[in-house]
Amino acid sequence: MKHIVILISGAGSNMAAIVRAAKREQWAERMGARVAAVISNRPGAAGLEAARQAGIATAVVDHTAYASREAFDAALMAAIDAHAPGGRPALVALAGFMRILTPGFVAHYAGRLVNIHPSLLPAFPGLNTHQRAIDMGCRFAGATVHRVTAELDHGDILAQAVVPVLPDDTADTLAARVLTQEHLIYPRAVAALLRARPNAA
Ligand code: GAR
C-alpha cells in the first residue's frame, strides 16, 4: 500500500479534496494508495476535525513547542514516518502547511514531497499572493502544484490552474476563486504521481 501523509495548518480544504477524490476514485482499490494520516503544526487547525470525521488518523506536532526549526522538523519526520510501515510514505502532500521546511527535511522526502501554492509560480512565491497579484494589475491568477525543494516555492511545476482577476476583486474573492481550482488540480496531480510511482513504499 502506498501511504499519503497530508500536512495542514488551517482549514484543510485541499486535504479534504484529496480525501474525497481518493474515496470517489477508489485509490485504494485501483492504485493501492490511501491517505494514512493528516498532521498539523497547529493544534486548533479546523482540518483536523474534518480528517477525523473522514476516519483518518490525525496528529499534531506543535511548532511552538520546539526550540529550533531542526528540532521541529525532526519531530515532524518521526510523526510522518510513523504512518508508513515501510519507513517513509510514498507521498507527503503539503496542503496549506504554513511552515518553511529545513533542507534536511526536504532531503529526507526527496521525490516524495509536493505542495500547492496559491499563485502562478514562478510569479509570487511567499505570502499574500492574491493581494500582490491585484496590486500588480494581473489579469490572471491561479494556483500551482509543485515539487518541494529547499528553496521556497521553487520546485518543478506539476500542475497549474488559471482564473481571471475581475475588476472588483479583493484578496478574499480572488482567493476563493483560486481555491475552487486548487481543489481540482491537487487531487489530480497527487493521483498522477502515485500512478507514476508503482514501487513506492
Ligand atoms: C490554500 O490556498 C493554499 O494554496 C495556501 O493556503 C490555502 C490553504 O487552504 N497555501 C499557501 O499559501 C502555502 N504557502 P486549505 O487549508 O483550505 O487547504
Q: Which CATH number do you get for residue 87? A: 3.40.50.170
Over residues 152-195, the pLDDT tens digits come to 999 999 999 999 999 999 999 999 999 999 999 999 999 999 99
Atom of ligand 1 nearest to the CA of 17: 18
Query: Ligand 1 centre from 74 Cα, in Å?
Result: 23
Confidence of residue 201 (pLDDT cuts 50, 70, 90): very low
Q: What is the number of residues in the chain?
A: 201
Looking at residue 135, what is its pLDDT?
A: 98
Structural domain includes residue 174: no
Confidence of residue 86 (pLDDT cuts 50, 70, 90): confident
Would you say residue 199 has pLDDT above 60?
no
Concerning whether 183 is annotated as a catalytic residue, the answer is no
Over residues 13-70, the pLDDT tens digits come to 999 999 999 999 999 999 999 999 999 999 999 999 999 999 999 999 999 999 999 9
Q: How many domains does the chain have?
A: 1
* Sheet of strand 2-8: strand arrangement: 57-60, 33-40, 2-8, 91-94, 113-117, 140-147, 157-164
Q: Which domain holds residue 50?
A: 2-115+146-155+183-196
